[in-house]
Amino acid sequence: MAEAIGGCLCGAVRYRITGAPMSVTHCHCSMCRRAAGSPVVTWLTVAPSEFSFTQGAPKSYRSSPRATRTFCADCGTPLTFVADKVAATEVDITVASLDEPAAFPPRKHIYTASRIPWFSCDPQLPQQERSSGGA
């Protein structure tokens, strides 16, 4: 991958990804669902050195004692998630906030034990009842 760009709905915050993703994952945990108002959130994971905000500054908040999320303070678009225990090596970016999200199909589902029953999982993708590691 050469580069991927994205940002929030209103355009106030923009970012750039310069590396290949470590993973692309559908997360079904209740915290991600509530943060996004969605039955699942798809995350692209890269090294922090391969991600940068290029315009505007997102607002951040502690979504749990172990993690920080960012979003656009103007329109509310969820942007990133960083778990403290992997902050030096991983940042998760919402795939739906990319300009070209179709370029990053999910590779697996995590936290399927928390999945909303009416939401169907792609049976061809690996499914884990809990996290795959960092989150």
Domain architecture of the chain: domains with CATH: 4-114 (2.170.150.70)
With vertex at residue 103, the alpha carbon angle to CA 3 and CA 48, rounded to the nearest 5 degrees, is 45
pLDDT tens per residue across span 65-104: 999 999 999 999 999 999 999 989 999 999 999 999 999 9
Query: Which pLDDT does position 1 carry in this prediction?
Result: 57
Contact 43, 93 (CB under 8 A): yes
pLDDT tens per residue across span 22-43: 999 999 999 999 999 999 999 9
Quote the mean pLDDT of the chain: 92
In this structure, what token pair is assigned to residue 73? 């303070």
pLDDT at 4 over 90: yes
Contact 6, 52 (CB under 8 A): no
- CA 95 to chain CA centroid, Å, is 6
